[in-house]
């Protein structure tokens, strides 16, 4: 038992509310978010002296600290002596794996009130320098140029230039036997894992890593698993397709809290696609309660099947709108849009000054001329009017300061004989310019862009992302008022679209 002064149960160092993120990959969790996640757990866990908790990605130690505060109250009847209760909680119930040496010191300071739990300032005395918050400097294991655990490449993380720098080889996911780190089982695994691995600081080529922490935690088979992660997995993508399928089909996911605007939980941090946190209960089987959160408050809650669609529809009101649209059984833009780079023209293509045997191509650099022999056109659409948008989403899938999305940044009609580079995506083609312009009026509606947004969790717009957007009659132009009437949207549904999507005016950019 420690001879030091007992911990004050109201101890809350303000520094944990003010910390900036370590990097784009490692984001500190504000106390209020940690508390909200912990509140998803059953209260009886905190009245049980045998409940064990693990944070496999400690940064500030906030999760363990907040759990300790609840255990101090919950175990008061079972362990009346405060010093005894502190020792029991810190030695027998709370465990962590730090992601860096720095965060190990911070986490110990938060939990033990000393970065050295065997020192004189620790509120509970351990016989070693780490206590129950471990940190081991791991290295990547490269096989054929890739780490066998996290998939990072040896040119970035195995280079001589990185010698002495943080390896980002996190212990929890760089082992085939995570259960041997503490040689024990855990009732609860909770935390905020690193989100991605950057290649030499190039965020554009970063690979997600948070899914590895979730999958490794599931392997440990805790009764409860609660983690906060980027919501980009909703639509799959780079390294996330199998993870999406696994989570959407997991009937143990009891609660999913969705936060589209990252700033609502991580001030000063903007992560494309937003954030979510979830509770997985090993003994639960059924549908999931999806909670939509904004500004820290729950705006809606609905118990539903996560696997209803290939992409997860994050908002409950959006789901209602989608169901009304699908009830009309129209084909979608997914069927009419082409695959990326339909004409086979790379972004790096250069302009030539020839006049004969060339094709006008819309590229990221504007209009250029390329040799016609470079154009591929398997469906024979080059001699039609084509409605195209940029492949990259406007605003990088992040809302503007007013919380609204533009989504479509460029809307253009290509005339017969004109093509586009891989920078653009062709949504449909027509024999008449009028039909093309009528489609443009449809694309410019908030309704169209709202339905498209529901599948977007990264900056890229591909043909499969139009699975909820119906193809309409292009014999006339369209407005939001007409579409609201066509699909019988309620005032609440219409208001929701208005609060999320910016207005857009279409003008023919090339004629």
pLDDT given at position 229? 96
pLDDT given at position 25? 62
Beta strands in 248-345 (DSSP E): 253-259, 275-281, 288-294, 297-304
| Three-state DSSP class for residue 40 | coil
DSSP label at residue 273 = T
Spell out the domain ranges in the chain: 22-314, 333-500
pLDDT given at position 508? 54
Torsion angle of C-alpha atoms 218, 221, 227, 229, degrees rounded to 10 = 0
Average pLDDT per consecutive 10 residues, the chain (511 residues; last block may be shorter): 39 40 67 96 98 97 98 98 97 96 94 94 95 94 92 77 74 94 96 82 69 97 97 85 94 96 86 92 98 92 94 93 96 96 94 90 93 95 97 79 87 96 97 97 97 87 95 97 98 96 74 45
Torsion angle of C-alpha atoms 310, 192, 147, 269, degrees rounded to 10 = 80
Both tokens of 254, joined, read 């009891």
User: Order of strands across the sheet with 385-390?
Assistant: 411-414, 385-390, 424-430
Q: What is the C-alpha to C-alpha distance for residues 206 and 198, in angstroms, rounded to an integer?
A: 4
Helix (H) or strand (E) holding 360: strand 358-363
Helices (H) and strands (E) in the chain, counts: 14, 19
The answer to whether the CB of 468 falls within 8 A of the CB of 328 is no
- With 0-12 / 13-18 / 19 or more C-beta atoms within 10 angstroms meaning exposed / middle / buried, residue 273 is buried
Both tokens of 449, joined, read 């862009």
Could you tell me the CA-to-CA distances from 148 to 139, 201, 203, 311 in Å, in that order?
Answer: 11, 21, 21, 28
CA angle 459, 463, 465 (to 5 degrees): 55
The CATH topology of domain 22-314 is Rossmann fold (3.40.50)
pTM beyond cutoff 0.75:
yes
The answer to whether the CB of 239 falls within 8 A of the CB of 231 is no
């Amino acid at each position: 038992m420690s001879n030091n002064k007992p911990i004050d149960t109201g101890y809350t160092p303000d520094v944990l509310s003010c910390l900036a993120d370590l990097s784009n990959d490692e984001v500190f969790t504000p106390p209020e978010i940690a508390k909200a996640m912990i509140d998803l757990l059953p209260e009886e866990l905190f009245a049980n002296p045998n409940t064990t908790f693990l944070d496999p990605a400690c940064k500030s130690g906030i999760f363990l600290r907040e759990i300790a505060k609840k255990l101090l109250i919950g175990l008061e009847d079972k362990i009346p002596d405060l010093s005894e209760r502190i020792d029991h909680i810190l030695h027998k119930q709370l465990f962590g794996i730090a992601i860096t040496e720095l965060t190990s010191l911070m986490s110990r300071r938060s939990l033990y009130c000393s970065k050295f739990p065997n020192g004189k300032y620790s509120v509970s005395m351990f016989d070693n320098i780490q206590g129950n918050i471990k940190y081991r400097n791991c290295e990547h294991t490269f096989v054929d140029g890739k780490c066998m655990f996290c998939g990072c490449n040896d040119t970035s993380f195995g280079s001589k230039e990185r010698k002495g720098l943080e390896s980002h080889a996190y212990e929890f996911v760089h082992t085939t036997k995570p259960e041997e780190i503490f040689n024990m089982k855990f009732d609860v695994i909770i935390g905020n894992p690193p989100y991605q691995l950057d290649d030499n600081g190039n965020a554009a080529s970063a690979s997600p890593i948070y899914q590895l922490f979730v999958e490794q935690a599931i392997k440990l088979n805790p009764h409860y698993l609660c983690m906060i992660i980027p919501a980009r997995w909703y639509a799959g993508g780079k390294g996330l397709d199998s993870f999406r399928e696994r989570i959407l089909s997991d009937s143990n996911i009891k609660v999913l809290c969705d936060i589209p605007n990252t700033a609502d939980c991580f001030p000063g941090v903007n992560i494309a696609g937003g954030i979510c946190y979830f509770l997985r209960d090993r003994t639960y089987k059924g549908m999931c309660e999806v909670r939509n959160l904004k500004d820290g408050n729950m705006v809606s809650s609905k118990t539903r099947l996560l696997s209803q669609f290939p992409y997860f529809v994050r908002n409950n009101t959006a789901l209602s709108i989608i169901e009304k649209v699908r009830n009309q059984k129209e084909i979608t833009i997914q069927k009419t849009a082409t695959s990326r780079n339909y004409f086979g023209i790379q972004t790096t293509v250069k302009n030539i000054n020839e006049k004969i045997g060339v094709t006008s191509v819309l590229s990221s650099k504007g209009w250029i001329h390329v040799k016609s022999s470079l154009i591929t056109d398997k469906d024979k659409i080059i001699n039609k009017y084509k409605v195209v948008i940029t492949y990259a989403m406007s605003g990088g899938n992040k809302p503007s300061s007013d919380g609204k999305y533009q989504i479509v940044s460029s809307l253009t009609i290509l005339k017969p004989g004109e093509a586009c580079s891989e920078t653009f995506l062709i949504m449909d083609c027509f024999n008449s310019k009028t039909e093309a312009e009528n489609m443009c009026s449809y694309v410019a509606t908030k309704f169209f862009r709202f339905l498209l947004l529901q599948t977007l969790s990264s900056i890229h717009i591909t043909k499969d992302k139009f699975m909820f957007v119906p193809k309409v009659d292009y014999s006339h132009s369209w407005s939001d008022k007409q579409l609201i009437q066509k699909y019988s949207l309620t005032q609440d549904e219409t208001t929701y679209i208005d609060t999320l999507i910016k207005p857009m005016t279409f003008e023919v950019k090339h004629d």
